[in-house]
Structure 1
Amino acid sequence: MPVDRIHWDDLPLGARHAAEEQTGPILRAETAAAGANSGIAATVHTAGSVLFVKGVPIDHPQARTQQREAAVNPYLPPSCPRLLWRVQTAGWDLLGYEYLVGRHADYSPGSADLPLLVQALTELQNTPCPVLDDLKIAEDRWSKYAGPAGVEQLAGDTLLHTDLAPHNLLIDDRAHLIDWAWPTRGAAWIDPAVLILRLMEAGHTAKDADAWTREHVPSWAAAPHASVAAFSAANARVWDEIARHDSEDWKKHMGRNAHDWVTYWRTQVR
């Protein structure tokens, strides 16, 4: 459920004061235009630092995803922005992050960002998965869509991001994975499977996205065909459900990509 975005000065005074106890006086704040899951998303400036602050009302359904994001942050790869502090007061849950200067990634064929994407994904797949109550479990998360036989094939011990959209990768001299609302423990090849749909969204064919990912991501090259088939069908059902509840064009487009991918994968013999 999206959260209505407000500006920093619209926060309750108690919430702003609690943040300033962590940062010192905030001289100005710039509200981010992108994103729909935070009631506050702002770059804040103090006399000696710049931070990124995001937050939601404590009683909003999105507060659960923010709790997961805060819980997993200490275990993330070094390229991910560090959570510096968290305050919960005056009806708000606020997270203060290290500020990164960067732009969103370009996934189009031939983009110079693709090697940086590989580095970030490789770093993540080599990161130990913590044992946390706040982590989603793949076989539970997709059980509604995969069925008992398919869902068993999603189990694994890899830390997954599961939302590898280009706006969740900040690029400077490397790629930084951001927005950890859905950290999940599961089979390592699930993140590459999620990524392939985003590559298709950016203009890659299913065949080319598959070949590129197989060349650069070892877990994808080793992924069992039947397991990928089960997840791909389940993920297509997820996108169908998303599009039914919200008919934005990009969501319908992702649903078509998911079904095109299922059709392609069924023709592959591994």
Structure 2
Amino acid sequence: MTVGKRGRIGWADLPARVRAAVEEIVGGPVVEAVSQPGGFSPGTADRVRTASGARAFVKAVSAAQNDFTPHLHRQEARVTAALPPEVPAPRLLGSFDDGDWVALVLEDIEGHLPATPWKPDELERVLDALAAVPTTAQIPDLPKVEEALADEFAGWRRISADPPDDLDPWAARRLETLCELADRGLAATTGDALVHMDIRADNILLGADGAVTVVDWPWSSRGAEWLDRLMLLVNVRLHGGPDTTALLARHTANADPDDVVAVLVGFAGLFLDVARQPPPVGLPTVRAFQRAQGDAVLSWVSELLG
């Protein structure tokens, strides 16, 4: 479900009406805007400062950059505005939407991205923070994970119907089993916990005071309470770090271990299947990233299944 990579526009590229709306929300003219690295959007991602010293983080995009990203920004604005204070997320200061351009003005959080390969102490901080997210946070109209992923977890069936020439030989010999496991994995995602569903190193900020802040909430859903910790370990598997299999057992202890592996199988099929598609407009490197995720998860699955 992750979208594009780098090559985004900046504050100066925004139409005057969008900049004016942001400045009204922030409370004065912006005198400094610093584009932030990382992330997967072709829109702006700028830390801005006004003449009076007020700060904010600004995200803005139009359909000209990518026709789906404005929808994500609208969804993120709705979700972020409804998050309770105990969820470790930046607060929404305001938003602008004229039907074309969508801008989010968020609390500017001081912090740094976790190091990759992951360091054990930083990883434990984030895992503990995710485990502490209140599972009963009530946000209206959030999709259910099993509904949101229903088509994506059919990835192995599409691969089985049209296997690519470079399909991993281990997977090629087990396509029927992988399809069945992905179906089981989809059913195992059910739950009523608030889940972020896009946990990665570049969606996390670590504060000097020990705080962990999770950013970018447009994919938020209702599902199994351990899903975000599973997604974080997928990121560790991709970038390197502590033993993901040992951590998996500890941080999904309330789940059936076979269900957890089945969910990983579903994600492997999702990533490998979507990576075969042409890149979306404005997101030229997304497919390579998705392929890397798919290869990393498939390697893990092959170890877990023996």
Q: TM-score, normalised by structure 2?
A: 0.76
State the Cα deviation string for residues 143-186 of structure 1 (Å, max 9, x = none). Answer: 12256654332210011112221111111122211111211111
Q: Does 1:253 align with 2:292?
A: yes
Q: Which runs of 5+ in 1 are unaligned?
A: none
Match of 2:78 among 71, 80, 83: 71
Distance in structure 1 (CA, Å) of the matches to 2:139 and 2:110: 31
Amino acid paired to 2:223? G
Distance in structure 1 (CA, Å) of the matches to 2:150 and 2:87: 32
**Aligned-pair CA distance for 1:234:** 1.2
**Aligned-pair CA distance for 1:138:** 1.1
Distance in structure 2 (CA, Å) of the matches to 1:107 and 1:8: 28
Amino acid paired to 1:87? F
Match of 2:261 among 229, 253, 262: 229
CA contact (8 A) 1:104 1:166 kept: yes
CA contact (8 A) 2:119 2:241 kept: no
Kindly, what percent of the aligned residue pairs are identical? Answer: 28
Q: 1:180 to 1:58 in 2, by over 3 A?
A: same
Q: 1:114 to 1:153 in 2, by over 3 A?
A: closer
State the Cα deviation string for residues 41-69 of structure 1 (Å, max 9, x = none). Answer: 11111123111000111673111211221
Q: 1:119 to 1:149 in 2, by over 3 A?
A: closer
- Equivalent residue for 1:36? 40
Q: Does 1:240 align with 2:269?
A: no
Q: Does 1:56 align with 2:53?
A: no
Matches within 5 A, 1:75-114: 75-76=83-84, 77-89=86-98, 91-106=100-115, 108=117, 110-114=119-123
Q: Which runs of 5+ in 2 are unaligned?
A: 155-181, 280-284
Distance in structure 1 (CA, Å) of the matches to 2:119 and 2:184: 38
- Equivalent residue for 1:5? 8
Q: 1:75 to 1:109 in 2, by over 3 A?
A: closer
Q: Does 1:202 align with 2:239?
A: yes
Higher relative contact order (CA 8 A, sep 6+): 2
Matches within 5 A, 1:147-226: 150-172=185-207, 173-204=210-241, 208-215=243-250, 217=251, 220-226=252-258
Match of 2:138 among 127, 130, 136: 130
Report the aligned-residue RMSD. 2.5
